[in-house]
């Protein structure tokens, strides 16, 4: 499909929204994939193309978090290495992606995050202070998250948030910063696999990515400083919205198609 003015507008606006959502919470890629598929992409091409926008937005947000002194480079790298290995494995099997499995994974991940987010800090930090010494279990968890990242990616941010808040007892703000950094480390490797398999639409991906970058810039510069309470309820709203789409209560796809037509 040619890049008409209406398609460029849709890609930019949806990219801005997705970049903002993904920087503060996660699940925005569900919107990206829905937009790409509504524009005629097969699911495997949409899955590969989405990596371009994710890479661009995480590069923007991580640079800003680092400049503000919010990024734990050492901890992020230690958790990112097993995630990279997992992402390579996941991307290799992504060609066999099944839309039914995709929806099941997304519903399970989002429902789990919704429960954990609403339970509050007391339960998430039930074992005390944040963990600073990582154990083999932690590396295994992030390797498995990496596999999911390479395979589907949608909801990866939620998995990282669940692991950093529930397993490592980090606060929600720090967890968001680490989440963006780990995604930045893992995505290039899975993107390369999709590129080598010819499963990337560069034109759509770069335009959508430009919108993502702006959204990530706004979120990491301004919204991240609005506090834990804002981030928690923002996550709740985003998860409920994405769950409504995945379960068929609303249809982002139909909305996109109505805009094109």
Express each pLDDT in 133-162 by its tens digit: 889 999 999 999 999 999 888 778 888 988
DSSP state of 78: H
**Residue 86, both tokens:** 């997992």
**Residue 55, both tokens:** 């890479």
Task: Compute the average pLDDT of residues 113-132.
Answer: 61
Query: pLDDT tens-digit profile of 59-101?
Result: 999 999 999 999 999 999 999 999 999 999 999 887 676 777 7
- Comparing 16 with 223, which gets the higher pLDDT? 16
Global confidence as pTM: 0.81
Give alpha helix (H) positions in the chain: 5-24, 29-38, 43-67, 73-92, 99-119, 121-124, 136-151, 156-162, 172-196, 202-221, 228-246, 252-260
* Per-residue model confidence (pLDDT) at position 125: 47
The candidate with the shortest Cα–Cα distance to 103, out of 161, 34, 157, is 34
Band (234; pLDDT cuts 50, 70, 90): confident
pLDDT over 90, % of the chain: 38
Burial environment of residue 58 by CB neighbours within 10 A (0 to 12, 13 to 18, 19 or more):
buried
CA distances from 241 to 111, 143, 250 (A): 12, 28, 8
b/e string for 10-29 if b means 16 or more Cβ within 10 A?
bbbebbbbbbbbbbbbbbbb
* Per-residue model confidence (pLDDT) at position 126: 47
Query: pLDDT tens-digit profile of 194-215?
Result: 999 999 999 999 999 999 999 9
Q: How many Å apart are CA 140 and CA 100, to the nearest integer? A: 26
The candidate with the shortest Cα–Cα distance to 58, out of 174, 217, 225, 227, is 217
């Amino acid at each position: 499909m040619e890049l008409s003015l209406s398609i460029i507008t849709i890609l930019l606006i949806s990219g801005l929204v997705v970049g903002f959502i993904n920087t503060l919470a996660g699940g925005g890629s569900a919107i990206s994939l829905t937009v790409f598929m509504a524009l005629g992409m097969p699911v495997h091409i949409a899955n590969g193309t989405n990596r371009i926008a994710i890479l661009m937005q995480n590069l923007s947000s991580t640079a800003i978090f680092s400049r503000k002194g919010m990024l734990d480079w050492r901890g992020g790298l230690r958790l990112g290495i097993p995630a990279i290995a997992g992402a390579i494995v996941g991307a290799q099997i992504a060609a066999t992606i099944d839309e039914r499995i995709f929806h099941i994974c997304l519903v399970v991940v989002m429902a789990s995050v919704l429960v954990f987010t609403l339970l509050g800090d007391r339960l998430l930090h039930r074992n005390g202070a944040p963990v600073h010494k990582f154990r083999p279990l932690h590396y295994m968890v992030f390797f498995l998250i990496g596999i999911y990242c390479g395979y589907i990616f949608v909801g990866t941010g939620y998995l990282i948030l669940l692991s950093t808040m529930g397993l490592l007892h980090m606060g929600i703000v720090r967890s968001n910063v680490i989440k963006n950094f780990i995604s930045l480390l893992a995505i290039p490797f899975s993107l390369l696999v999709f590129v080598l398999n010819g499963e990337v639409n560069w034109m759509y991906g770069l335009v959508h990515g430009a919108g993502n970058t702006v959204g990530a810039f706004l979120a990491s510069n301004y919204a991240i400083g609005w506090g834990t309470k804002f981030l928690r309820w923002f996550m709740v709203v985003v998860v409920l919205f994405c769950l409504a789409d995945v379960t068929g209560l609303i249809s982002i796809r139909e909305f996109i198609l109505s805009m094109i037509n």
